[in-house]
Amino acid sequence: MKRKEYEKALEPLQVELNQVARWLEHTGKRLVVLFEGRDTAGKGGVINAIAETLNPRRTHVVALAKPSERELGQWYFQRYVPHLPAAGEITLFDRSWYNRAGVEKVMGYASPDQVKAFLRQVPVFEQMLVDDGILLLKYWLAVDQAQQEERFAERAKDPLKRWKLSPIDIKAREKYADYGRARDAMFKATHRPKAPWTVVDFNDQKRGRLTLIRHLLDQLPDHPVPRSRITLPPLGKKPGKERYTGPVKPIATAY
């Protein structure tokens, strides 16, 4: 999909996202969106497309690092709970508590008993969130291995993207089928009517972003909140210029 075509299609979706954000603020509703999928699937890109035009004070992107020693000794869900939204807010999880059923299981960071306990507990945990009024959406971004390999190679060559390529990502290349089996087991245990999974094809990331955002918008009530008109009165005088009378001055223009 060409960039101009993508941007033209994205703009009206972002307008709708802003309408949703105003509705959430007006009603005090809370929205949680989980983005899961294989490495390079495009989680960060779609999260950026959603969040870039929204109020950052009410839209929070959560991408947690590996747990600390203290967090390893906590209830598994404990470190995620503080990031849940308050009234009128949106939380977008770039990977979530489902790490335990994915990377932790496949890479051996969690024991079989821990994974089993997680799959038993997570439907209860999510039911509690939904029962408390949180709007919960869960997305799996799907990408074929050939496409994944192209993106790994691109990251390895691009100095601006190399930070995205970790030692775990390199090891994960050998476990594509294992991740698929872990995903299927996760879906079987956690795809519930009140907290269903939605799979989106992200082999074409631009089309995937548009498809996911359209689906997200369609899951939420269509209750537009009237926007008050803002009228800027005439300034009434000549526009002022920045002037500095003290010791601090702007640095020289570099370009």
200-247 pLDDT tens trace = 999 999 999 999 999 999 999 877 888 878 898 999 899 999 999 999
Rounded-to-integer distance, Cα 149 and Cα 159, Å: 17
Angle ∠(85,86,87) on CA atoms, nearest 5: 120
What is the pTM assigned to this prediction? 0.93
Q: What is the pLDDT of residue 193?
A: 96
94 vs 39, 120, 218, CA distance in Å? 11, 22, 21
Asked if residue 170 has pLDDT above 80, the reply is yes
Q: What is the pLDDT of residue 167?
A: 84
Asked if residue 157 has pLDDT above 80, the reply is yes
CA 235 to chain centroid, in Å, comes to 41
Rounded-to-integer distance, Cα 31 and Cα 158, Å: 35
* Three-state secondary-structure class, residue 184: helix
Residue 217 token pair:
């918008």
Structural domains for the chain? 3-219 (3.40.50.300)
pLDDT band at 111 (very low <50, low <70, confident <90, very high): very high
* Three-state secondary-structure class, residue 33: strand
Q: What is the pLDDT of residue 243?
A: 92
Residue 27 token pair:
């009603």
* Three-state secondary-structure class, residue 95: coil
Asked if residue 166 has pLDDT above 90, the reply is no
* Three-state secondary-structure class, residue 21: helix
Mean pLDDT of 143-148: 96
Any bridge partners for residue 36, and if so which?
Answer: 140
Query: Within 13 A of 147's CA, how many CA atoms are on the CB side?
Result: 14
Q: What is the pLDDT of residue 168?
A: 83
In degrees and rounded to multiples of 5, residue 60 shows phi and psi of -115, 125
pLDDT band at 169 (very low <50, low <70, confident <90, very high): confident
Q: What is the pLDDT of residues 16-62, one digit of tens each?
A: 999 999 999 999 999 999 999 999 999 999 999 999 999 999 999 99
Q: What is the pLDDT of residue 212?
A: 98
Q: Provide the residue count of the chain.
A: 255
